[in-house]
Structure 1
């Protein structure tokens, strides 16, 4: 299993599993299949009956949708297209942050080289030969394609209190965001896989400093502290949700 270590802005090293070539190809095939199905339906139901001028405009729009599909999807779907989401892979920034618009744009512009000029060979060879499985667009943009299924989801971090009167230990967690809690979950998963206690210690210190928590129960270690933070955040978030 090939992994990439991303150093986040919180000074935490998180390991991600690099997306395989097969998964990336299948994601591309799924995206192409969606377009082909859409275009065939559009052609048989609408295009064949259109006046020539309207037909030309429609074709231009369809080409534009195809050309900008990846860029728009990755910006709006957090580094994923429909195919990538199905295959559970996504684009991340190597600096640990969510990729910026400029990174998505650079990656998209390099498609002309990766898939156009080189007839897909540029992307394939680059992904095979580079250490982090990056195509040329990733190298230029400072991004990489990773698997998302090991990535912690909020639902998988939910600790349901046994009673409705559960009292959070650290009410300061209200200042956190979902992405902060996902990162904590990633650190815990990373510790379970690697037994690297330093990542847990570093994350715990960062959370204590960020939330200005000075008093922690004496019998609570750093791992238990992070688990308590997730539990408290889940409870407070659930209580804050309006009733349907």
Structure 2
């Protein structure tokens, strides 16, 4: 699998896996099923009602009902920050090449170029492009400078850290509460990813960053230090 390094707000590089062709196809199929369900619902409700009440305006009503299908991908990506129903189920997401959130203008570019990637040449251009490019990008991704990454978590951080904190726990770093919620959540995510990939360099960088933020020093090993800070933070802020 190909990975991409993304620099977080804590100036720590972490890696995400590019979403492969298989997952992207499955996401597309799921989205197609969503739209098919939409058409079925319209057929047995709106279309039937229109044909009974005003058969002369059937064509105009049908054309209007097709607009949500036409703009589905664009609107979903904009509203749900790089995801459609299919992408959400498959655990993949569209982001910028540097890992930052994609903008609405990026989604518009990707949506317009779908005409070439998917429809004009029967998916050939998009498929070949994903298979042959280093970042597994279709033409629309290359033009918008976006990538599709896997986001699904295989480990729940609360199971590995926070469940260990009981009522009688005595915090070691009493200023851990100075972390913001955003910082604590990012530390948890980086810790999870570093452990998952066994990237001890990232773990050490994370430790140095925490020490800098909280102005503390410790003899604890990197992993134990991060876990302790998180437990202290959880214990102190929960009160």
TM-score when normalising by structure 2: 0.82
Residue 40 of structure 1 corresponds to: 40
Residue 99 of structure 1 corresponds to: 102
Residue 79 of structure 2 corresponds to: 76
What do residues 148-178 of structure 1 show as CA deviations (whole Å, max 9, x unaligned)? 22477665565135433545531112x231x
CA RMSD of aligned residues (A): 2.8
TM-score when normalising by structure 1: 0.80
Residue 27 of structure 2 corresponds to: 27
Greater Cα radius of gyration, structure 1 or 2: 2
Residue 148 of structure 1 corresponds to: 151
SS in 1 for 2:14: strand
Q: Which moved more, 1:73-82 or 1:55-64?
A: 55-64
Give distance in 2, aligned partners of 1:67 and 1:234.
Answer: 46
1:127 offset after TM fit, Å?
0.4
SS in 2 for 1:91: strand
Structure 1 unpaired stretches of 5+:
none
Alignment of 1:215 with 2:216, yes or no, is: yes
Give distance in 2, aligned partners of 1:61 and 1:207.
Answer: 55
> Structure 1 residues 233 and 28, CA, compared in 2 at 3 Å: closer, same or farther?
farther
Give distance in 2, aligned partners of 1:11 and 1:103.
Answer: 25
Q: Is the 8 A contact 2:14 2:194 kept in 1?
A: no
Alignment of 1:227 with 2:233, yes or no, is: no
| Counterpart mapping for 1:1-244 below 5 A | 1-50=1-50, 51-52=54-55, 55-150=58-153, 155=158, 159-164=162-167, 166=169, 168=171, 169=173, 170-173=176-179, 175-177=180-182, 180-209=183-212, 212-216=213-217, 218-235=218-235, 239=238
Give distance in 2, aligned partners of 1:105 and 1:157.
Answer: 40
SS in 1 for 2:147: strand
Q: Is the 8 A contact 1:7 1:94 kept in 2?
A: no
Aligned residues: 233
SS in 2 for 1:110: helix
1:27 offset after TM fit, Å?
0.9
Structure 2 unpaired stretches of 5+:
none
Give distance in 2, aligned partners of 1:146 and 1:81.
Answer: 13
1:6 offset after TM fit, Å?
2.4
> Structure 1 residues 232 and 59, CA, compared in 2 at 3 Å: closer, same or farther?
farther
